Amino acid sequence: MSIACVVIPHFALRVALLDRPELDGAPLVLGPAQGGRPVVTDATPEATAHGVRIGIGLREAVALCPEAVILTPHPVRESAAAERIVAGLETLSPAVEVDTRQAGCYVVDLTGLERLLGPPRLAADRLLTTVPALFRPRAGIALNKFTARVAAYGALPGTVVVVEPTAIQSFLATAPVSLLPLAPDKQRRLERLGLRTLGDLAELSPAAVQARFGAEGRRAWELARGNDREPVRARLQPETVSELLPLPAPATSRETLLIAIKRLVLRAFDRAALRNRHVRQARLHASLEDGQAWEQVTTLRDPGGHKHLIEALGYRVQTLALSGPVTALTLELSGLIDATSRQELLPGFHSRRPWQLAEASRQLEQRFGTSGLYRVTEVEPWSRLPERRHALIAYDA
């Protein structure tokens, strides 16, 4: 028993509570990100008890639960909070995996740490103490990742559920299929077939499940039977450079933002870590005067230096629509590589520009009647007959 899972249900809402802890226990509804459709994206159990559901309009949510408090997502604070939580867990175990499919879900490998952290239940208690109580974290411990995750979601806030190795199958049998890592359409199909618990799925024959749901379904069947050999993958520690620039006065014009971005980039490239180096990715955070935030990740097609980056970020700012004045900008650069390490392709192996390819196609067609160039296109990607899924069509069709 060596894997622990710490989960924080309704993570975005819990992060929003950090600013307004007095709202803890009130019916909370999470609205859309900036510019999104006004629908409910998450709701606490206190709100769902009144009939509020994910996906309904905010007006309907307020009509169903007039005392509901509507909060807006804050991606900058969410990522900062997640970072603090992971850093806290990493003080106890070097292998902490962040679940990218579910915010607020962390898997911790406790293998070999018994003498340091004590028996599993005590170790999980210590993991929970690294997370602020306002997040209402809960933990599960089991032999594998999936069972630990199911156990954690079944635990009460601040408690630990330990699943003994001999009891894995019976424990999983009553858990809902919604805990399986399946795409939403497959989840719905399972429910339409009357498969509501992992036990229902585990009772089917693996061939039947695979025939209907493909490889993903087969994996879900294995998980439902408690077979999960996936190791805990500790997150990579990417080398990053961050720069913060508080603006002397809240900025609204694009010109001011461009000047600020230029200063940020030049300041970052002045750092020793970026001397003679290029970057692949830039994450720009903007803190707005009304307390909200905006964030955008820009990935450069080719790694570039400061000029290239200023130009790329400048293009993004041109099309930007912010809801309020900006009070501070943060730039985080990642994917750092040596400026001199770029590998050029051999002559003749350069990828052709699309217009060059189109021109070549036209020339071939002129000469031979057909260009002989095709591209792969999706026809019925959902089809159970493999030959119906994709086809080659003439490049110029």
Partner 1 sequence: MVAPAGAETRADRVRCLNLPRPVQVTVNAQSGMPVTLHERNRRHVVESIQDSWYVDDEWWRDPISRHYVQVILRDGAIRTLFQDRIADRWFEQTY
Q: How far apart are CA 273 and CA 277, in angstroms?
A: 8
Which amino acid appears at position 235 of this protein?
R
Give the residues lining the site for partner 1 (CB under 8 A). Answer: 206-208, 210-211, 354-355, 357-358, 374, 376, 384-387, 389-397
Nearest distance from residue 186's CB to partner 1, in Å? 16
Nearest CB to partner 1, comparing residues 101 and 353: 353
Q: Which C-beta is closer to partner 1: that of 203 or that of 380? A: 380
Closest distance of CB 366 from partner 1, Å: 16
What's the one-letter identity of residue 347?
Answer: P
**Cβ nearer to partner 1, comparing 93 with 371:** 371
CB of 229 or CB of 275, closer to partner 1: 229
β-pairing, 96-98 vs 374-378, is: unpaired
Looking at the DSSP bridge assignments, the partners of residue 192 are none
CB of 190 to partner 1, least distance (A): 17
Sorted by sequence, the CB contacts under 8 Å of residue 128 that are 6+ apart come out as 6, 137, 138, 139, 158, 160
DSSP structure class, residue 255: H
Q: Name, in order, each residue with C-beta under 8 angstroms of 71's C-beta and a sequence gap of 6 or more.
A: 13, 16, 28, 29, 30, 31
Q: What is the 3-state secondary structure (H, E, C) of 198-253?
A: HHHHHCCCHHHHHHHHHHHHHHHHHHHCCCCCCCCCCCCCCCCEEEEEEEEEEECC
Closer residue to partner 1, CB minimum distance, 156 or 385: 385
From the CB of 384, what's the least distance to partner 1, in Å?
5
Alpha helices (runs of H) in 118-183, residue ranges in sequence order: 120-129, 145-154, 168-173
CB of 197 to partner 1, least distance (A): 23
DSSP three-state, residue 48: helix
Q: Smallest gap, in angstroms, from Cβ of residue 379 to partner 1?
A: 8
Q: Which is nearer to partner 1, 349 or 382 (CB)?
A: 382
